[in-house]
Chains A and B, each alone.
Chain A
Amino acid sequence: MSAVPGGAPIEPETPAGAVRLAQRRQALPNGWWAMALFLCSEVTIFGTLIATYFYLQFGVHQWPPAGIAPEKVTDPSIATGALVLTALPMWFAARAARMGSKRTVLGLVALALIVQAGYFGVQIALMSHDLQHFSPRGTAYGSIYYTLLGAHHAHVLLGCLLDMAVLWFVASKGLTNYWLTATRALALYWYVINGLAVLVLLTQLSPSL
């Protein structure tokens, strides 16, 4: 290939080349930037949802409305705590990806996926339980409560699907530059979704706090 300014040719076609590139690169890769910007948009969406929650709350005398008990603190807090802890395996997975350790990446992402999927299952069960007591159609409180939680659960589901895609492609294609960057972007996705989980939890529990 052509000479490039400032050093040897860089060909990240192979996992070894991808690792060399990841270690030599000064700026963050394009895929990481794209994920960061996508997450800016998603964080703004959650900011809007949370602002709506309090905007609606400030407009009424009783929140939650009469007949709806404030949310219990324990179960969603434990579930969210478990989800937040998955930032650790994701961080180590991103680090392992930069070092080219495919097996470590696969193991850590799979571990995180198990916990994240478990969180998703628990949250769906909690939401089903809530639905037996109040509906999104009855009051504006119900509407924003389920929309906020639903939006977050949808992002967790999307993250689990992304986990599975990364696992599949890294296992079958190896840690090429594309999938190395994808692993780093996935880790970033989970850091932000975990942070949002805390904000959503605090909003959800605010009447009980």
Chain B
Amino acid sequence: MATVVSPRGQRYVDLLERVWGERKGLVGWLTTTDHKRIGIMYFFTALALFGAGGVEALLIRTQLFGPNGHVLSPAAYDEIFTMHGITMIFLFVIPMTTGAFGNYLLPLMIGARDMAFPRMNALSYWIYLASGIFMYIALAQGHAPNAGWFNYVPLASKTYDPSNNIDFYGWGLIFNGISSTAAVINFIVTIFKLRAPGMSLNRMPLFCYAFLAVSFALLFALPSLSVACLFLELDRQFGFQFYNAAHGGAPLLWQNLFWIFGHPEVYIIILPAFGIATAIIPTFTHRKMVFFPLVALAEILVAFLGFGVWVHHMFTVGYATVTTVYFAAASLIIVIPSAIQLFAWIATIMTGTPEFKTPMLFIIGFIVFFIIGGLSGVTLAAIPFDQQVHDSYYVIAHFHFVIFGAAVFPILGGMYFWFPKVTGRMYNETVGKVSFWTTFVGTFVTFFPMHILGLMGMIRRNYTYPAGLGFSTLNAVETVAAFVLAGGLVSIVLNLLISYFKGPMCGSDPWEGDTLEWSTSSPPPPYNYAVIPTVTSPYPMWDKADRELDNRRLERGEGVFALGHRTPGSTVQDAEFDELLKMPPHSIWPPVTAMALAGVFTMLLLGHLFIAVGFAAAIALALLGWHHRGSEP
């Protein structure tokens, strides 16, 4: 705990240390089921893939620096921009937010000692890692997916893309989707059932609401993508006819299925950013969040309404006006819950006493970019305008303001915000502020001119453009700014890396934060809390009496649960104590199962069905081993 522990309380702490102690070394990391270690593994894997996606972005920008560029061939350009999109969306943003931030922070924020299913949590990570490697093997072989991240047929059909580039996409995304599905089931059950007794739903932090909303959105959105990819692979590898108009199939089926997933996906990407913002803003404005219940409802409403707008990506395919008008209206309606949150953030900042430390600056940047990206999104809901700028750089500008400006800036702010909690050390504030301004200016200057280029008629996905169209100057400016942006991102990584070794120690609660994670030591011990915390409001760290009560409870050994790997389970709505859950300590089965699953998908890619069945049998055996000593439910 944060305060000095008495000898009597220390007895319980020592017992917990023995029970929850992690294995050391590589084996410890391979077999870990600790949500914090898994979160850290997610973080570094996602960061590495962010680096890869960033290098791809710089290659694209370098190619487009001037007219008639020759840095990349047309075929290489197709692969690079496709991998950039796939990487940033499937392999960076979602794993970074749900995998890294969610895994590390969610159990801490709700006062639990781990996720509901620790081994399934580890399995999610190992599958994610394997699916990332699977995708990047394609690039290393020169056979990376090359039909854009939304991979439209018939371009992606066997007729027009006969090599196995697209098969890496099809099988890779199904593979990756298994990881996400397992992860979100775990998040939902953890939020429903593992909240500290007393943390009823109306006392749950808004961060957790955002993750609950995103988990449900992913759960219901991913099947559509998986089915679309399954149809694609059945067409490509087994001669089925789902997308072949000549045999009764429908190419537009792909677009519908993809965007039924793809538009909720935008909110899946941005909702965790909302959650991070709602965690950072109260801390640095020193006041409670304005409109707490409305913000919680708005987070859930955004996820729900996100399922009803997908056709606004398809305004140019020739659907009837009544159809497109419905989806245009739905796209405008979704502005309402987004604006509720926006006004709540702004009102909280304006009515509080804001302190502009680096994490808060990134949140201000997020708000600015979200407004810009949101407003350009509203313009795209206007059907004639959308038809005019469809497939132009205007669209690229819009979604980069949303996906990079609005979704990634809170991630960067969150990295600074929780760095002291994860490492126990403070970062360099001056370098932090410099990194913010570099990143902010780099982002704005890279993406804002794309609006103008789009309105001038520059088409996306073309590997170059001729001289004399007036595109050259703005493209050159964008490319220079992209390198400035990359410099800002590198400075963040360097700041945190150097601070990890040389930063001053910072104690358990350097920000006077409002949520429970700040009540435990930095970094948190393997058991998270010596006493399962008392919760009587959504801002438990500001309830000083409750924290003092926890110290007294530790003296009495109340709520310690030290005899075994245990955490309390509670009721869904009111979080009343319901049972004591026995958690599995560590396990080799998650990585083994993930390896066998990787075998299945590799064999499917290569068309060796019988060997794939063999690997499926290996999964069954691994699961038998897994359940041989079961203790989770």
Contacts and interface: CB of A to CB of B under 8 A. Distances in A.
Interface of A: 1-6, 9-10, 12, 21, 25-27, 29-34, 37-38, 40-42, 44-45, 47-49, 52, 55-56, 59-60, 65, 136-144, 147, 161, 165, 169, 177-179, 181-182, 185
Name the residue in A37, A49, A52 with the highest tally of chain B Cβ atoms < 10 Å from its Cβ.
A37
B193 interface: yes
A143 B185 contact: no
Interface in B186-205: 186, 188-189, 192-193, 197
A178 B632 contact: yes
B560 interface: yes
Given A27-B193, A27-B571, 9 more contacts: A1-B563, A2-B560, A25-B579, A30-B116, A33-B193, A38-B185, A44-B220, A45-B227, A138-B241
Interface stretch (B83-91, B245-253, B595-603): B245-253
Contacts of A178: 627, 630-633
Nearest to A177: B633
Nearest to B577: A5
B369 to A, nearest CB: 32
9 contacts: A25-B578, A27-B569, A30-B633, A31-B632, A45-B223, A137-B239, A147-B230, A147-B240, A178-B633
Contacts of A2: 557-563
B482 to A, nearest CB: 38
A14 B623 CA distance: 23
Contacts of A137: 238-241
Interface residues of B, number: 64
B572 interface: yes
**Secondary structure of the B contact surface, majority rule:** mixed
A50 to B, nearest CB: 11
B508 interface: no
B495 interface: no
B123 to A, nearest CB: 12
Name the residue in A2, A25, A140, A181 with the highest tally of chain B Cβ atoms < 10 Å from its Cβ.
A140
B240 A136 contact: yes
Nearest to B239: A137
Interface in B603-633: 620, 624, 627, 630-633
B247 A140 contact: yes
B558 to A, nearest CB: 6
Given A5-B197, A136-B240, A138-B241, A181 B256 contact: no
Contacts of B220: 40-41, 44
Nearest to A147: B234
A56 B253 contact: yes
A33 B249 contact: no
Contact of A185 (B120, B260, B627, B633): B633
B247 A52 contact: no
Contacts of B256: 55
Pairs of residues from A and B, 5 with the lowest C-beta to C-beta distance, nearest first: A31-B633, A140-B248, A181-B633, A44-B223, A143-B240
A38 B189 CA distance: 11
A114 to B, nearest CB: 21
Name the residue in B188, B234, B579 with the highest tally of chain A Cβ atoms < 10 Å from its Cβ.
B579
Contacts of B240: 136-137, 143, 147
A47 B249 CA distance: 18
B559 A5 contact: yes
Interface string B128-169: 000000000000000000000000000000000000000000
B546 to A, nearest CB: 15
A159 B631 CA distance: 21
B181 to A, nearest CB: 6
Given A27-B578, A41-B222, A165 B117 contact: no
Contacts of A37: 184-185, 188-189, 219
B483 interface: no
B238 A41 contact: no
Contacts of B570: 27
A34 B116 contact: yes
A37 B190 CA distance: 12
Contacts of A142: 241
Contacts of A59: 248, 250
A131 B222 CA distance: 30
B250 A56 contact: yes
Interface string B548-586: 000000000111111110001111100011111110000
A178 B117 CA distance: 12
Nearest to A27: B571
B527 interface: no
B249 A34 contact: no
Contacts of B578: 25-27
Name the residue in A55, A143, A147 with the highest tally of chain B Cβ atoms < 10 Å from its Cβ.
A143
Contacts of A182: 630, 633
Contacts of B563: 1-2
Contacts of B499: none
A32 B569 CA distance: 13
B480 interface: no
B226 interface: yes
